[in-house]
């Protein structure tokens, strides 16, 4: 028969009491309209062991601007006015400056050990990032095992290039040792500035359509300068990857 616990915590027959303490975990909530941040407690119960494990996780410095971007992109339709405003353009320029500093401080060659999630071309598709968030890091980046590597090609083709590249930059600012971004061929001016070829789906056209000719080109240029700090895909080396095997059985 299973034992039951009395209200006072003692087990049947006077056994030892099982204690559960509230987990002292808080989170930041950002008002996407005002940018105001408030700290709220997460209403969960956890054992002492779980609490101790969570306390050992690396802590990341909160960045209110980056958190604002993450919150806004959860429901961009509700923020459509802001996403076409001069305020959004200025926020992008500030975000770009923060991200550029982080990328420039990284080594030219990344050495990343498993476990790691690798993501290919996102090409301006914000829905892909929503899917990843809902299914891969649904507990949050910090509580998800491993690191996250994006191989580049964040812009062009899709119509949400600005949202995709700034969303990933915001994640990089918040979690610099969990998120890694490489530079694809579309993170070059020759490609993402090829307006004649991609027309309204080109990154430069999206910037100008959103903010006007002058401000649009400024945002486009600043984000390209950030991308110049990214590593190219060919400069990423994975540790603990199995060696390639030649069709004849020879290890190469």
Report the catalytic residues. 186
Is residue 26 within 8 Å of 17, Cβ to Cβ?
Answer: no
Q: Which two tokens stand for residue 124?
A: 């301006």
- Residue 231: count of CB within 10 angstroms of its CB: 18
CA distance 14 to 12: 6
Is residue 130 within 8 Å of 162, Cβ to Cβ?
Answer: no
**Which three-class secondary structure string do you get for 139-172?**
CCCCCCCCEEEECCCCCCCCCCHHHHHHHHHHHH
Q: How far is CA 24 from CA 50, 90, 160, in A?
A: 11, 36, 38
């Amino acid at each position: 028969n299973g034992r039951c616990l009395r209200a006072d915590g003692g087990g049947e027959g006077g056994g030892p009491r099982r204690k559960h303490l509230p987990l002292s975990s808080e989170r930041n909530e950002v008002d996407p309209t005002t940018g105001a941040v408030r700290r709220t407690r997460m209403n969960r119960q956890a054992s002492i062991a779980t609490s101790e494990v969570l306390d050992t996780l690396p802590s990341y410095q909160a960045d209110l601007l980056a958190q604002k971007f993450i919150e806004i992109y959860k429901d961009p339709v509700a923020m459509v006015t802001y996403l076409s405003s001069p305020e959004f353009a200025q926020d992008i320029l500030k975000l770009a400056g923060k991200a550029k500093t982080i990328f420039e401080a990284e080594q030219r060659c990344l050495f990343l050990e498993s476990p790691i999630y690798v993501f290919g071309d996102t090409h301006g598709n914000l829905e892909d990032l929503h899917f990843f968030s809902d299914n891969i890091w649904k507990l949050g980046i910090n509580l998800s095992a491993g690191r996250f590597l994006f191989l580049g090609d964040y812009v062009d083709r899709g119509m949400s290039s600005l949202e995709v590249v700034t969303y990933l930059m915001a994640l990089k600012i918040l979690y610099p040792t969990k998120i890694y971004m490489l530079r694809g061929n579309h993170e070059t001016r020759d490609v993402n500035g090829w307006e004649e070829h991609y027309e309204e789906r080109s990154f430069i056209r999206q910037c100008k359509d959103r903010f006007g000719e002058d401000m649009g080109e400024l945002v486009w240029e600043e984000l390209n300068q950030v991308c110049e700090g990214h590593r190219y895909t060919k400069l990423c080396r994975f540790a603990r990857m199995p060696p390639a095997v030649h069709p004849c059985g020879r290890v190469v």
